[in-house]
Amino acid sequence: MYLPRDLVSKLYVHLQSTRHPLSPPVLILVALEPDALCACRILTTLLKHDYIPHKIQPVAGYGDLERIGQELISPMTMNKGGNGGIVVCLGVGGMVDLGTILGLEPEGEEATFGGVEVWVIDSHRPWNLGNVFGGFPLEHVIEEASGSYRSRTPKGVTGGKIDRAYRPGKGGVIVFDDGDIEEDLTAERDAYLALVDMPDIEDDGHESDGTDDESDEDEPSRAGQKRKSWSDQDMGDSGDDNVRPRQKRRSNSSTPIPDSPRPRQRGLMSLRDDYDDEDAMPSGPQPLKKPSARTLRRRLLRLKRQNEGTLRKYYRLGTAYAEPISAVMYCLASELGREDNDLLWLTIVGVSSMELYGKSSAGVAAPVRGSSDSRNSRTATGWFGVRGARIRQLLRDEVRRLNPPALENGKLTSESQGVILTSARSPEDTSIRLSPEPRFLLVRHWSLYDSMLHSPYLASRLKIWNESGLKRLHMLLAKMGVSLVQCKQSYVHMDIQLKRDLRTKLLKYAAQYNLDDLVPRAETDGRDRGGAKDGWGFVRSWGWRATLSAQDVGVILGALLEVGKASAHKRGEVNPFQASQVLEDEDGLQQEQEWVSRFWAAYDSLEDINALKAGVPTAQHLHRAIFRTGSSIISKRQIKHLRAFRMCLVKEGPDVSLFNHPSALTKLALWIGEAIAEQEKDTRGRLSHGGRGTPLVVASLNEKRGVYVVVGTGGGGGPDTTFLDREANKKKKAEREAKVKIRAERRKTKEKIKEEKRAARIAAGEDEDDIDDETESDASDSDSDDDEEDNDTEERYRGYGLNKFGTAFQDVVNETSARVRIDSFEHCVVEVKKEDLGGFLESLSMKTVVG
């Protein structure tokens, strides 16, 4: 079931009114990422305000999720002695069948969920359609044969959509819709609902329905098919823990055909009971004879294959990201009238963190930014395109509403005059302000030189990985009038006049070095839309103790999650592996436990500014390692060109162990991918793959476990300014609906002519089944001709630029004997046995990895 955006507070209000001291605590499952962590902080703040007991459970991957289902969630069900309850999934499980993984829908059992209600708030796409349009306990009927699946849905649920008449409490999976389901999944909803109510019929593949079947290469694995993995003897792991858990009932991202539980239905022949009894047929002139059982079977098979094809295409569009879940939780707080600066800041940090990990409407992809001669181009809008720009503008409006600007002698303070904010207004100042943040890294906690040196944006544009790039950086500083001595001291201690003039000088010289997006545009150039401050960042102060930008906090949180707490090294560096190296063993379970312990350090730092500041050295160490490793790979020309993507290996050097964490490896891949994109623009004058840049695969060796961690990033670009532009979407939707009406009228006319011809041929004595076969084939060809052009256009529009590494990885696993562990919630991340990496990459190079 899904909860529409306009009813986002319905379930929480019901929770408020029904909770009491003896109620079971709300169980919150949280992914190990900054956006989910911030969303968890927002939710727990709301629960504490209402005195609702809750328990937080970090989740490292699918294996961990299945274990939690068995140990914590399944015992909550009433049929196992529990009292039911609520489970909230933040960034967890939106792409798989949660009813099965969590043990709430046992195979073959009619009683499901047992009073456990699962709320799903997730930005990963594609949705698992079993969660969206199913996921509810079936209503009891007296005569089982008379109740269809849709007729047994709970009151207040229509086509999977919850309305105001719905009464929570019976259990089920409820997906929080951020607007995508209502806008974009109409065809998938119709196909899914048609399949779950379709009579059972075996498709042996011998019956021709007049359409071409999908090739074996494109056929995804079926529900219940176990993914290949390394053996228990090799990895010391239990079978199911090595793979993403099996899907037994409905589809997931790699098993797209729903196999939903549905009531026993009438057989195919029962549809013709009224016509097979010759004694019951009236005498005299007969109307047109009803289709034979063979004809009905053909029609049913064709309809089934069409609907399965619709779902298959949706699941194979590629992975993407929708609205950050911290923004959805802030929407909930706003509906409840609870918004304040603390919750707004958590939302801003969560939204800002998405860009750090390359999570956009094109999936995990390196950012592709507009150049000076294409400021109005499709890619010039940056991260998340139109949708991202709207979210950021809403956040800026909220900042102004909750933090009115201060006046000094009747004039606005410095935050509106283009100066990077580094201090609070007063010892008690905890306000959020807008600041013209440049694309530097941790500028308040580093020297200006180091901040510029480790900025992925500057590194890619100036090519800082070689001597020529460093000379360009030095020349830029020289033109700005900043000496190396000055810029290598701490930024907060730089000359005040230099800091005041920094933005103006950057704007003056940035265009000469292809750095148009380095700082927000000046308000006088007409692009600021009346003081809207497009492109400005967010800064918060904690009195005199600290002033941090949202980007700074996102970088620190990520480092705490990926590296953990670290002690200072004698040379000023940080050794992040003192604890984690000892804990890693063959099966990786203790490694995941270490990742979970890091979650609590990051979680606590959101409310403890001293702990957050203590994480700055860890963040600096991580990004020094990214710069060193990325520069080495590019300088030594270690990037190989394969058919569908480029790839490189990280298997030696002082920082190898650091990149065994998938998120750290993803940041490295994004750094390299952005550099490659700029190289392509310089050498070819354009980006490859239709302006999206080249996809990249980066693999890091974990020598202790004998595996490679592999991440695949898209080329960037994608449907940022088209797919997520709601106005354009609505216009295209209206055009499609008009075409559907025209085709419906055309088909009605063809059906009438066909029936007349059929009646004439039957009267002439021809065999009825042969006539039915011929007419069914003709109808299928006609329908295919009508739909082919529109379907191709729609699929290209929806899937343009999306990261398809998830489906490509699964296809390789199904086709080869490579031992692969698929456990991450990011489907573009896998682990491959060291000996199997060559064959895995060879097979992967033949797949489509970007839409």
pLDDT at 416 over 60: no
Cβ atoms of residues 456 and 674 within 8 Å: yes
Q: Is the pLDDT of residue 685 over 70?
A: no
Check residues 328 and 532 and name the one with the higher pLDDT: 328
Most confident of 222-226, 260-264, 590-594, 716-720: 590-594
- Express as a percent the part of the chain with pLDDT over 70: 73
C-alpha to C-alpha distance for 319 and 829, rounded to whole angstroms: 12
pLDDT value, residue 389:
83
Residue 225, token pair as written in the block: 């098919």
Last residue of a domain, one of 537, 572, 603: 603
- Mean pLDDT score, 780-800: 55
CATH of residue 670's domain is 3.10.310
Question: Which has the higher per-residue pLDDT, 772 or 798?
Answer: 798
The phi-psi region of residue 284 (left if phi > 0; otherwise alpha if psi is between -120 and 50; otherwise beta) is left
Q: Which range is least confidently modeled, 64-73, 241-250, 310-319, 654-663?
A: 241-250
> End-to-end CA distance of the chain, in Å?
29
Q: Which residue has the higher pLDDT, 807 or 388?
A: 807
In a domain? residue 611: no
- Which of the two residues, 377 and 329, has the higher pLDDT score? 329
Average the pLDDT over each of 313-327, 381-395, 725-739 and give the range with the smallest value. 725-739
Averaged pLDDT, 50-78: 93
Q: Give a yes or no: residue 696 inside a domain.
A: yes
Note the pLDDT of residue 729: 57
Co-location of 670 and 550 in the same domain: no
Please report which confidence band the pLDDT of residue 668 belongs to, taking 50, 70 and 90 as the band edges.
Answer: very high
Q: Is residue 214 part of a domain?
A: yes
Q: Mark whether 416 and 525 lie in a shared domain.
A: yes
Say how many domains are in the chain: 4
Residue 55 has φ and ψ, to the nearest 5°, of: -135, 135
User: What's the pLDDT at 385?
Assistant: 72
pLDDT band of residue 624 (cuts 50, 70, 90) is very high
Pairing of strands 567-568, 574-575: antiparallel
Out of 283, 304, 333, a domain closes at 333
Same domain for 328 and 341, yes or no, is no
> What percent of the residues of the chain are helix, what percent strand, and what percent coil, each to the nearest 5?
50, 10, 40
Predicted confidence at residue 215, as pLDDT, reads 40
Residue 328 scores a pLDDT above 70: yes
Residue 200 reports pLDDT greater than 70? yes
- Whether the CB-CB separation of 325 and 35 falls below 8 Å is answered with yes
Distance, CA of 708 to CA of 702 (rounded, Å): 6
Position 105 in a domain: yes
503 close to 519: Cβ distance less than 8 angstroms = yes
Residue bearing the bigger pLDDT, 611 or 226: 611
412 pLDDT above the threshold of 70: no
Residue 266 clears pLDDT 50, i.e. is over it: no
Asked whether residue 271 carries a pLDDT value surpassing 60, the answer given is no
Give the least confident one: 427-441, 452-466, 758-772: 758-772
Asked if residue 613 belongs to a domain, the reply is no
* pLDDT class of 332 with cuts at 50, 70, 90: very high
Predicted confidence (pLDDT) per residue in 162-199, tens digit: 999 999 988 999 999 998 898 889 999 999 998 888 87
At residue 53, the pLDDT reads 94
Q: If we measure between CA atoms, which residue out of 613, 640, 637, 614 comes closest to residue 697?
A: 640
H/E stretch holding 541: strand 537-541
Query: Residue 773 has what pLDDT?
Result: 58
- Nearest CA to 436 out of 407, 414, 403, 404 is that of 414
- Verify that 439 and 519 share a domain, yes or no: yes
Judgement on whether residues 684 and 597 belong to the same structural domain of the protein = no
Q: Are residues 623 and 552 in the same domain?
A: no
Is residue 407's pLDDT more than 80?
Answer: no
User: Cα separations (Å) of 312 from 247, 308, 649, 788?
Assistant: 16, 6, 33, 16
Give the end of a domain, one of 603, 631, 650. Answer: 603
**Looking at the domain assignment, is residue 367 inside a domain?**
yes
Q: Which residue has the higher pLDDT, 406 or 849?
A: 849
| Average pLDDT score over residue span 239-248 | 35
Task: Supply the pLDDT for residue 743.
Answer: 75
Above 60 in pLDDT, residue 433? yes
Q: Please say if the pLDDT value at position 785 is more than 90.
A: no
Question: Average pLDDT, stretch 502-526?
Answer: 78
Mean pLDDT score, 248-254: 36
Looking at residue 793, what is its pLDDT?
Answer: 52
Do residues 33 and 58 make contact, with C-beta atoms less than 8 angstroms apart? Answer: no
Structure-token pair, residue 572? 């000023």
More confident residue, 745 or 717: 745
**What is the mean pLDDT of the segment spanning 523-544?**
71
Q: How much is the pLDDT for 139? A: 74
Q: Please tell me the predicted confidence (pLDDT) of residue 377.
A: 39
Residue pLDDT, tens place only, 82-98: 888 999 999 999 999 99
The Cα 696–Cα 712 span in angstroms is 6
At residue 58, the pLDDT reads 95
Q: Which band of pLDDT confidence, cut at 50, 70 and 90, is reported for residue 601?
A: very high
| Coil, strand or helix at 217 | helix
| pLDDT(233) > 60 | no
Whether residue 156 is contained in a domain is answered as yes
Please check whether residues 324 and 472 belong to one and the same domain: no
Instruction: Out of 2-11, 49-58, 294-303, pick the least confident.
Output: 294-303
Share of residues in the chain with pLDDT > 90 (%): 42
Per-range mean pLDDT, top range of 746-755, 785-794, 812-821: 812-821
Give residue 629's domain range: 619-719+803-844
Confidence of residue 138 (pLDDT cuts 50, 70, 90): confident
Q: Are residue 644 and residue 764 in the same domain, yes or no?
A: no
Q: Domain for residue 793, yes or no?
A: no
Q: From CA 515, how far away is CA 552, in angstroms rounded?
A: 21
Given a contact cutoff of 8 angstroms between Cβ atoms, the answer to whether 399 and 539 are in contact is: no
Do residues 711 and 736 share a domain?
no
**pLDDT at 275 exceeding the cut of 50:** no
pLDDT band at 605 (very low <50, low <70, confident <90, very high): very high
User: Do both 764 and 629 map to the same domain?
Assistant: no
Taking residues 458-475, report their average pLDDT.
92
Tokens at 726, concatenated: 């709601």
Supply the mean pLDDT for the chain: 78
240 vs 641 pLDDT, higher one: 641
Regarding whether 305 and 430 lie in a shared domain, the answer is no
Q: Max Cα separation, the chain? A: 107
Phi then psi dihedrals of residue 319, to 5 deg: -85, 150
Nearest in space to 612 (alpha carbons), one of 603, 625, 624? 603
Q: Kindly state the average pLDDT of the residues 796-814.
A: 84
4 and 60 part of one domain: yes
Please give the average per-residue pLDDT across 310-318, as a whole number: 91
**What's the DSSP call for residue 73?**
I
Look at residue 611 in the predicted model and tell me its pLDDT: 93
pLDDT value of residue 177: 93
